[in-house]
Amino acid sequence: MRKLVFVVLLAACGTDFATEPGTGSGSGSGSGSGSGGFMPLISTDWSLQPMTEQYLCVRQTLQSDMWISSISPVSPTGTHHQVLMVTTATPGQPLPPDGVTVCSSELSSPSLYASGVGTSELDLPVGVAIHLQAGQQLFLNLHLFNAGDAQITGTSGVTYMPIDPSDVQHEAGVVLAGKAQGLEVDVGVGVQQTGTCTTSAGSTIFAAAPHMHLLGTHLTATYTPPNGGTSVTLIDQPYLFDAQNYIMQSPEIVTEAGGKYTITCTYDNESGSPVYFGESTTDEMCFALTMIYPPPPQTECTK
């Protein structure tokens, strides 16, 4: 199992956007009720000592098929990010046991959804849903960070709103595009880093959210069709660490083979030393969490 240094990394640059289709307190069968009609999907309780961080991996096998039209994170203080993936058993490779384990940023399975600090609920477009099947295993990778001087506790996870499968035309998933390897934020104001990846044909981008850490000040994400086509801007706004919300794309963007996805991140680094890519909140990242349909088979799109 490959361990990736981060969160949700998407369909690797060069592997293109693809068109093919724990003691947890959450419920993999959608039982119970949540705030505003949302139902619990998967979650876990946690406790974190001062000035520490930790990854938890939560696994929950589904008891029935589910179709999700809206999804919302449960992210109390201390929740840095969450990545929701799904794993299917294969011959000779059974699923790991359900439950919670201490882990690293294990992003080994196709991703369904990701959230950062301040991410609000995401309502999928009409006719679009996340599809989960009985027997699959939900896999939540949770990054916790306590920057304070007192112990904190909480319950983090994901809730959802169901939809009748007869109303679904497209199945959705998430990719995260940006820059990982070689990311270096030099000392200075307005320092920029840029990541790119090449798209394949037929992926529809319908939402995107920024993700950097504490030095980030602005993020721009654009898609450029091949052969000199006109670029389309998905995100171009100041970055707020505690408001990493999805921006719905209107109109939606259908990628072409050989198109280019470009993410430019701007930082103010007055720490006196360069800051590099890393999982800790005191390191840096440069990503656009991108919701597409159909779902990608991989979770990394970086260069």
Percent of the chain at pLDDT above 70?
84
pTM: 0.74
pLDDT tens by residue, 211-226: 999 999 999 999 999 9
Read off the pLDDT of residues 151-171 as tens digits, 9 standing for 90 and up: 999 999 999 999 999 999 999
Report whether pLDDT(111) > 90: no
Domains in the chain, CATH or no CATH each: 35-171 (2.60.120.310), 174-302 (2.60.120.230)
Q: Reduce the secondary structure of the chain to three states and give it as a string.
A: CCCCCCCCCCCCCCCCCCCCCCCCCCCCCCCCCCHHHCEEEEEEEEEECCCEEEEEEEEEECCCCEEEEEEEEECCCCEEEEEEEEECCECCECCCCCEEEEECCCCCCCEEEEECCCCCCEECCCCEEEEECCCCEEEEEEEEEECCCCCEEEEEEEEEEECCHHHCCEECEEEEEEECCCCEECCEEEEEEEEEEEECCCCEEEEEEEECCCCEEEEEEEEECCCCCCCEEEEEEECCCCCCCCEEEEEEEECCCCEEEEEEEEEEECCCCCEEECCCCCCECEEEEEEEECCCCCCCEEC
Reply yes or no on whether the pLDDT at 234 is more than 50: yes
Provide the pLDDT for residue 36.
63
The string of pLDDT tens digits covering residues 172-202 is 988 888 998 899 999 999 999 999 988 889 9
Evaluate if residue 148 carries a pLDDT over 70: yes
**Structure confidence at residue 4 as a pLDDT band (50, 70, 90):** very low
Question: What mean pLDDT do residues 57-61 have?
Answer: 96
